[in-house]
Structure formats: structure tokens, C-alpha cells
Structure 1
């Protein structure tokens, strides 16, 4: 027993003011594992009471709080074991300042990620547009958000850009979005026929919803053409560029079949010959 006590009371000297015994090390390890166990229990209890859509948000926030609690528990445990934390922090002040400056962007991303999860700025499967890039969100973490573009490329965005830049959430108000395709026809065309053909184009497309949003607007008398706009709604916002392309192909086909011209800009040049 005396041998065991001697081993447990063996002191490790890191410096004149920072000392810890083997007993203290074992106690510190025990406290660490006990904290880990209680955190897992708390996580399971809270997760059971949350709705399915909130579980991922809680998981992300909890992972950040978990490391914060670990650090806090270790500091308290070391202080109770007689380790002078103030001396330790003072001796490593320069290192902490350097780490703080280096991790500034990381902390910005983490705080932004927490705000995004709490105020429900974006959700999984939302279609977002940031800095001209459009993608479908498939993962939200504390530091980054990942989205898949229409050409199957993954955009990895640090979360702080969502606070620093304008974010367009195409599906914030629901899955149904309203979009449009513009087209010009030659002067002298039958405008009622143009409207009819454009409406037929929208009705025939399988991903365009035939509702009150399907409409044709006579936008303007342009310099070289009569300007029309086909407004439509769809639930497949991620395929929007493909839908618009399909509609333009259909419009071109129908206009050719009905002898309606899509003009190009023209200019009349008058030459005046001076008399000698």
C-alpha cells in the first residue's frame, strides 16, 4: 500500500510553479471521461425531445459547446489540483495572442454557423445563390456549408460569407418559385397568336405548373422587336436553367411552325452624296 501511495504522490515538475502528482493526472483523466459520459447522456435525452429537422442543428451546436465544456472542466480541475492556471496563461500569453489572431476567421465561421442554425437562414435542400453561384444545400456544419451546383460541382462556403454577403434563398418561401423567359418578335406579328403560342409552350412543359402564375406579358415596344415575357412557376428550382432552355427550344419551334420571326437588331444607313 505504501508503494502505491508513493507512486500516486509522485510529483511531476513542469516548472517551479507548475507541479502535478500522478494522483492528480489520474483524477484529471477520470474527470475527463466522466464529463464525456454525462455529455453523451445529455445529448441523447435532448435529441429524443427534438423534432427531426432540429436534431441536425442541435448536433452541430452541441459539438461546439462540447469542446468548450471540456476546456472549462480541465481548467477547473487543474486549478483544484493546485496548478496555478494564471501563471500558465501568463507564460503562454504571446502564444495565445498568436493563436487568437490566426483563428480569428475560424471563430467567425463558427459564430456565423451558430447564428445560421438558430435563426434558420438556410435549411438542407434549400436552393441558394451567393456571389453569383447557385447550389442546393446538402450539408450545414459549424464552419462551412456545402452545396451542389447544377453541373454536379460541390461548393464549400465558409459560413462567415453569409453574414458579409447578400444571400438569395430561392426556396425560403416554399418550393414553388416564379420565373420568366423573355422573347422578342418582329413588328407586324399577330400578338394574340404570340400569346397563345407562349402559353401552349408553358402548358406542354412537364415541370411547369399550370396555374395563375402561367401568364404572358407584353413588355415593351423595343427598337427592333415587340418584347414579350412568359411567366411560369415550378417546384424544381434546382433544374431552372434546364427548364428555361427547354422553353426556349419549344418557343423557337412553335414560332417557326407559325411563321413568327424572332428578329435581330437592324439599322438603316443613309448615305448622302455631296454635290461638287
Structure 2
């Protein structure tokens, strides 16, 4: 045997090792070569499917504006379809007869089914999650005390990232069979409820206003939907309220609630609103000793009061000064609302909302619809005619604007923009209509106040006539009757 023939024989032997039949599956011989080819093809299928679906999810579907949950579902389903088709193609490409393979698989099916029962359940549950989509990637969910954001849904399991950045792998069967609170289902906003108890001598109007001010001041709380305060029930020695706020930052819910609680404690203390305390019965051995002590203190207090009065008025406490500048007091200074009761003022505060303006930001412009009334809580605005660049007035905290445009449905006759960071209390048409519906007699009071401004009223009426916004049945030379008809048409009162 020559030296040149040795490599040839070696190659022949190696080739025989790779091509010789190791075993048979049905009528299909299985060799080492076919196994290697199948492994290489499988790896190619996996790489191609992953690369394609990643491109689809991170680029193409993003450009089409599809949300994260839908992108993930489409990508996962397509990936498994590509893998399934690729596996079938790879098996056929190396000469396997799938019909004979199916016969063998059928024979082993019963035993394999019992062995991979949980895997099959999770697989079917994964398909259900991806197709039915009760939960999708990006949703904020609560499951058996576990709260977090769904980061990935695969065929076997779902990955949830908790608020402390821990990743929890949950079998898909658990996601399907157990009750899940999906805070993001059909609505990405999360509602937070805070229960508050106050002492029974507290003013419900002041409590409502203080809670709403706190809610609007919290950075994580949304202005829309508007925060709400509910008077839940009467306790034994307390009033029970609930503050409802909405946020688009579900992962920060605990931080936001903590911040609100801190603010409630501080502001209640500033406003003189007391929290209830539990009564305790104390039994004294010698009560006459304590009784004599109280009598001495009472005598001393009477002497102090006599010396402090001497014809002088008591000074106003800081709490009283704050109360006078509260929203309820500012609303009472508006001539249309000055006779409202505390209960009616509370309804007015509830239907309103806060609006924040940055410096130089417009509140509205000339000819915009007159659909809201505004009361300036802080900051200042400029009123001017934009068409001729004429300055009319500057308005500051405690002043109001836009009431006639709202009540008579008149387009804005001037533009308003903020001179500095400004917060306004606003009542839109829907909120004002709700108040008038609940208190019809308020409309007559508004009529009497509006007609006091006869000159301005005539100008507004003429503007509406020129714009052909006054119906013949509604028009009236008598301003009182015209305002009544206008209010009835706009607000159905």
C-alpha cells in the first residue's frame, strides 16, 4: 500500500462512518450525516426566524404604529410558524418520509402525552394568550399578590417584571386558569383609591377642597380624568372619604400613594382638619384631686380672657386667613354663585377641574368657542385683542373670566395667555349643565346678574345676530327674556 493511497482509504472509511445506517425510523434510515445535516438546518431555521421576527417587531411594526403588545404577539406567532415550517422542510430535505414518521409518533403518542402533559397545557395556554390577548406585553397586571408589567409572552411561560425590577416567570397555564387583575385592559390608566377618615366636627366642603388641591398638586396624578372625592359613610366618630385619582405610571402607584398621604397629613394639619382618635376609658383612684386641678386652670383662663379683650377684637388666625382664600370662598365672590350653600358649592367644585398654563401659553384665542368659565388660583394672565395687538387687562389670583361666553354660548371676543406659571379652576359646559340641572333656580339668579351688564349684553347679542347664531324663536328685544331663552336652549333648563 503506497503512501498516497492512505488518505484516500481514510476518507473512504470516514465517509462510510457518516453514511452508514445507525438505525431506522419506519422505512427511513438514519445516519450520522443525516443527523448533522438536520442539526445544521434546525440552527439555520432558528437564526432566520429570530432575525426576521426581531426586524419585524423592532422596526417594521413600529413604523406602522402598532403598539408593543400587538407587536410582541405577531412576532411570537410568526416565529413559531416559521420554525414549524422550517422543521418540516428540513426533515423532508434530508429524505425523511413524514408519513412513516407520523406512524411512529402515533405509536408513542400516548406515552409522550402523559410525560409532557404540563408542557402541552402551557403551550395551548400560550397560544390562547397570544391569540385571545386578555393580557399583552406592556400591561400592568396583578396575579396572586404579584404586581408588575408583562415583559414577554412565550409559548410556555410569561415573564412579569415587578416594581422592584425582579423578573418572575409564570407558567401560561397559571395565567389562564387564575384570576388576573389587568389594570391596563382597554385603558392604560390606573385608578388609585385612598381612604381618609376625619373627625366628625370637620367641614366636608373644606375636606373636599383640600383633597382636590392635594391631588392636582401631585406630579404623578393626571388632570384628566379629574380627581374625585367621595363621601363614603358616617363612622362612629368620624366622616369617611375616598380620594380617587388616575395615573399613567402604574409602576409608581405606591410612591404616588405615599406622596399623597404625606401631603394629606401636612395640609390637614395646616387647615385645622383633625383625624379621628379612638376613645379610651380611664378610671381614676382619686378623681377629686384632678377635679380641683381643672377648677384652678378654668379660673386662670377666665382671667386671661378678660385681660385680653378690653374692647379689642381677636386677631385672625393663620388658619382663618387660609380658609378665606380657599376655592370655596373665591367662588362665593363670583356674583353668580354668592348665594350657593356649602353643599351646592361642593357640587360646583366637584364638576370643575384644574388647568395649568406655562408662561406665554394661550388659554384661548379670539373667536374660539366659549365653552368654559375660569377662576385664577395662582399666577396671572393677559387679556388682549390679537387682531390689532391691543392690550386690554391683566388678571391675577382670585379673578375670573369667560363666564358670559360660557353661559350664553358666545365665541371669545379676546385672547388670553399666561404671563407666568398659572393654575386655573375651570368649569366647562358639561359641568355647568350638571349644576343647573341639579339646581334649576340657579339659572334665574344668573339671568338677573347677567342683565345688570346691559351694555355688554347688547354687544354680545348683536355679535351673535351678525354671526347668525340666534334663532328667530330665541331672539328677543327684552334682554331678560333673551337670556332666559338662551340658557334654556344651551343647557336644557
TM over 0.5: yes
Per-residue deviation at 1:190?
Answer: 1.6
Equivalent residues of 2:24, 2:30 under 8 A apart:
no
The structure 1 residue matched to 2:231, chosen from 218, 225, 229, is: 218
Per-residue deviation at 1:205?
Answer: 0.6
How far, CA to CA, are the matches of 1:140 and 1:236 in structure 2? 22
If asked which structure has higher relative contact order (CA below 8 Å, sep 6+), I would say 1
Matched, 1:209 2:222: yes
Per-residue deviation at 1:11?
Answer: 5.1
How far, CA to CA, are the matches of 2:25 and 2:275 in structure 1? 88
Q: Which of structures 1 and 2 has the bigger CA Rg?
A: 2
Partner of 1:33: 41
Cα 1:118/1:39, change in 2 over 3 Å: farther
Partner of 1:79: 97
Partner of 1:273: none
How far, CA to CA, are the matches of 1:107 and 1:140 in structure 2? 16
TM-score (ref. length: structure 1) = 0.75
How far, CA to CA, are the matches of 1:233 and 1:16 in structure 2? 62
Q: Give the gaps of 5 or more residues in structure 1.
A: 271-276
Cα 1:30/1:181, change in 2 over 3 Å: closer
Equivalent residues of 1:18, 1:88 under 8 A apart:
no
Partner of 1:60: 76
Q: Deviations over 1:188-226 (max 9, x none)?
A: 112211112111111111111224531211111112311
How far, CA to CA, are the matches of 1:37 and 1:15 in structure 2? 25
Cα root mean square deviation, aligned: 4.1
The structure 2 residue matched to 1:153, chosen from 166, 171, 180, is: 166
Matched, 1:166 2:182: no
Cα 1:26/1:214, change in 2 over 3 Å: closer
Cα 1:105/1:264, change in 2 over 3 Å: farther
Q: Deviations over 1:40-71 (max 9, x none)?
A: 48x84994997344443233224434554466
How far, CA to CA, are the matches of 1:257 and 1:16 in structure 2? 84
Q: Equivalent residues in 2 for 1:78-227 (5 A)?
A: 78-79=96-97, 85=101, 88-89=104-105, 93=108, 97-211=110-224, 213-227=226-240
How far, CA to CA, are the matches of 1:239 and 1:38 in structure 2? 38
Which piece of structure 1 moves more, 243-252 or 52-61?
52-61
How far, CA to CA, are the matches of 2:238 and 2:275 in structure 1? 8
Per-residue deviation at 1:111?
Answer: 1.6
**How many residues in Structure 1 have an aligned counterpart in Structure 2?**
261
How far, CA to CA, are the matches of 1:173 and 1:55 in structure 2? 16
Per-residue deviation at 1:265?
Answer: 3.4
Matched, 1:252 2:265: yes
Partner of 2:302: none
Matched, 1:51 2:61: yes
TM-score (ref. length: structure 2) = 0.45
Per-residue deviation at 1:178?
Answer: 2.4
Q: Deviations over 1:64-116 (max 9, x none)?
A: 34554466453894337xx95477558x73xx544422321112112211221
How far, CA to CA, are the matches of 2:220 and 2:156 in structure 1? 35
Which piece of structure 1 moves more, 161-170 or 43-52?
43-52
Cα 1:171/1:30, change in 2 over 3 Å: closer
Cα 1:232/1:17, change in 2 over 3 Å: closer
Partner of 1:12: 21
